[in-house]
Structure 1
Amino acid sequence: MANSHIFEARSEADIRRCHAVMHELRPHLAEEPFVQQVLRQQEQGFRLAALEAEGSVRAVTGFRLQEMLAHGRILYVDDLVTAEKERSSGWGEQLFQWLLQQAREGGCAHLQLDSGSWRHGAHRFYFRQGMHISSYHFTMPC
């Protein structure tokens, strides 16, 4: 595995660098709307981070630290995706472990995420990381 590093994407240029990988998970977001939405969400505490190796972004995550009555302080993962051609290379696990460290450093009691019910490969990954299904997430259009 090549040397890698994880960085937080705060500038428009760094956010743009994350788009191609995030687009695999969120194909409805073209580059410019993605950049603008990330910038808006950052004002609300959203953080975007990427794992880079050999000058190329291999995995991306969007997350936030928040507090909930039911769980106390948590790190909530909005998005976690590894470029399709890079899956099973260990990049996702490295980024997941980095998120876990961010949660610990942030005083969080839990790391939480939702995953689409059809994303079986992602579920296998989360189970390997030691996660478990703790609840159902219900939704409806309004």
Structure 2
Amino acid sequence: MTLELFMASSDEEIMGCFPAFKELRPLLELEKFLAQIRRQESQGYQILALQHEGRIKSVAGFRYMEFLGRGKVLFIDDLSTQQNARGNGFAGKILDRLNAQAKEAGCAALHLDSGYARHAAHRLYLEKGFQFNSHHLALVLE
């Protein structure tokens, strides 16, 4: 089993990540995806991709952030594995790499938000040592 973890930066690499992101974010549109990623990159967004047998199967979009109450953290915006590749430990490998990266960057913690109903994801996060320690609230502006 050949696995490669890499930072997706070229247009081709980023577009190769689209199917995995689409699993998590079904409203994403292929035609707008690259421009959206490039805008987010200007705000520090980066993509870590896991390739298995020549195809990108799992991705994480993340950024470094600093908070008064939390210090410097690596915040995972998006973590997704294609449906047909789940159960192979790919997301766990991405989390392990991000954990190491965060430590190297001097971060105090890894943070992420997860939907209430994503129980399989919650199991993985808890196995990796994450703790439920806050609620993320949002107010949709009309």
Band of TM-score, shorter chain: over 0.9
Cα shift at 1:139: 1.1
Residue 16 of structure 1: CA displacement? Answer: 0.2
The 5 Å alignment of 1:1-142 reads: 2-142=1-141
In the alignment, the residues of structure 2 paired with residue 111 and residue 86 of structure 1 have an alpha-carbon distance, to the nearest angstrom, of: 24
Deviation (angstroms), 1:32: 2.2
Root-mean-square deviation (CA), in Å?
0.8
- CA deviations on 1:104-130 (whole Å, 9 max, x unpaired) are 111100000000111111111111111
Q: How far apart in 1 are the matches of 2:54 and 2:88? A: 16
Identical counterparts, % of pairs: 40
How far apart in 2 are the matches of 1:92 and 1:6?
11
Measured after TM superposition, the shift of residue 51 of structure 1 is 0.3
Q: Which aligned runs of 4 or more in structure 1 are off by greater than 6 angstroms? A: none
Q: Unaligned stretches of 5+ in structure 2? A: none
AA in 2 matched with 1:35: L
Matched residues, number: 141
- Gap runs ≥5 in structure 1: none
